[in-house]
Structure 1
């Protein structure tokens, strides 16, 4: 099983998009799991009518003809809906989900934003935008208006200039509680843009995926592969 996260695909990132398309064509795995923020923003499944998003949808549809592709919603693309999954052939992955391997191990996957409880402002925003009434009101607006609003919000976020090391990390005790409830000793998540591996206070292992950025001076992109031998990290920068 292969895992990626936080690609933030947009037409402004041609190299990142090309690397994703290449991965979809070449990845050797029983299944591919995309753990949130596949897109920089997603303001409704009618985005599939736009040229860039249609291109991404077609690439996913081609990939799902040869392997299962599971997509979990992130904080940027929580509005991925039924049409997206139907047209791409991807499988809707709940957050969190427990995966149980044939060799007996269990793994908990999540986007990771719900674990960052120290970021109280974000958690309040998250609670608001996950409300069905809020989503229905947004989706009732014209597509062009929704896209313009998303671009405005992303520009404001970038202007904040926050470095990844300043982001609030996942709360370790909460990670332990989630793992204990799931009966798993390994967690994989994204969201924080702090790739690496650590041992949680309860003794379980946490693997954090990188975001993807192949259009800047310091490119980064990785994938985690889970086998009976454990989890290995593969750089996709030169793939």
Structure 2
């Protein structure tokens, strides 16, 4: 299990000089039962002026393996929900740079899906060098150290043996398991299984990355947090267009700084 003393290897991505604006989103939790959120996400990717979009985990409510997407998804983009998502991502990647980081719901997204969508899979965490600064990007779940139950599960399911055994099951069986996991998640939604980020660990990561700002998702509590000594973390919004207070926020970064943009009206 990761502890506050564990500092992961810091991958690094240098933005090309042509980039003027980059967007960050996370926790969209796309699934076939929520057409409103899918439509908001599709419209956003079709219209964003950003040069690059960074999806920092949990784009999908659940991902059971890249074979959920048909090999001919471009010819039959409506054949399945996964095909529709792949088609939207591939279209976006034709006009902007698209990056994806694993979340706690879609850590089984693999290279086959990334190649099909022409997206780049990022390590968690990754340092983005942009606009003369270093920005540390993460999904955020690895920093929720007080949620010991989740951390035990995370260690198990991120292991090679567990993933190989799960992916070896027939697709239909994995999809049935995913439906049951979603039912259980909804039944226990009040628990919010999103532990808070450990600020001491976040500071440690930032110092190791030589960065001043951590951008992450996972907790569904969008806000800025002062960590002291000039360090901070900024939490991304989750998306839910069906909620009584619909949410679909984008964090946009340019040379003038960070701007939070609400795509849906309350």
TM-score, with length taken from structure 1: 0.96
State the distance in 2 between where 1:75 and 1:130 align.
9
Match of 1:78 in 2: 107
Match of 2:252 among 207, 225, 230: 225
From the two aligned structures, give the one with the greater helix fraction: 1
Could you give the per-residue CA deviations for residues 75-97 of structure 1, whole angstroms, max 9, x where no partner exists? 00000011101111111111100
Kindly indicate whether the alpha-carbon contact (under 8 Å) linking 2:40 and 2:248 is maintained by their aligned counterparts in 1.
no
Could you give the per-residue CA deviations for residues 107-131 of structure 1, whole angstroms, max 9, x where no partner exists? 0000000000100000000000011
Match of 1:47 among 41, 49, 68: 68
**Worse overlay, 214-223 or 186-195:** 214-223
Aligned-pair Cα RMSD in Å: 1.4
Match of 2:87 in 1: 58
The ranges of structure 1 where at least 4 consecutive aligned residues each deviate by more than 2 angstroms after the TM superposition are none
Kindly indicate whether the alpha-carbon contact (under 8 Å) linking 2:194 and 2:218 is maintained by their aligned counterparts in 1.
no
Match of 1:107 in 2: 135
Unaligned runs of 5+ in 2: 1-21, 71-78
User: 3-state DSSP class of the match of 2:136?
Assistant: strand
Q: Tell me the CA shift for residue 150 of structure 1.
A: 1.2
1:236 and 2:257 are equivalent in the alignment: no
User: 3-state DSSP class of the match of 1:16?
Assistant: helix
1:117 and 2:145 are equivalent in the alignment: yes
Q: Tell me the CA shift for residue 163 of structure 1.
A: 5.5
State the distance in 2 between where 1:170 and 1:40 align.
21
Kindly indicate whether the alpha-carbon contact (under 8 Å) linking 1:176 and 1:202 is maintained by their aligned counterparts in 2.
no
Map 1:1-239; keep pairs closer than 5 Å: 1-49=22-70, 51-101=80-130, 103-162=131-190, 164=192, 167-238=194-265
Kindly indicate whether the alpha-carbon contact (under 8 Å) linking 1:108 and 1:182 is maintained by their aligned counterparts in 2.
yes
State the distance in 1 between where 2:128 and 2:95 align.
21
TM-score, with length taken from structure 2: 0.86
User: 3-state DSSP class of the match of 1:58?
Assistant: helix
Kindly indicate whether the alpha-carbon contact (under 8 Å) linking 2:104 and 2:141 is maintained by their aligned counterparts in 1.
yes
Unaligned runs of 5+ in 1: none
Q: Tell me the CA shift for residue 201 of structure 1.
A: 3.5
Total equivalences in the alignment: 237
Kindly indicate whether the alpha-carbon contact (under 8 Å) linking 1:96 and 1:108 is maintained by their aligned counterparts in 2.
yes
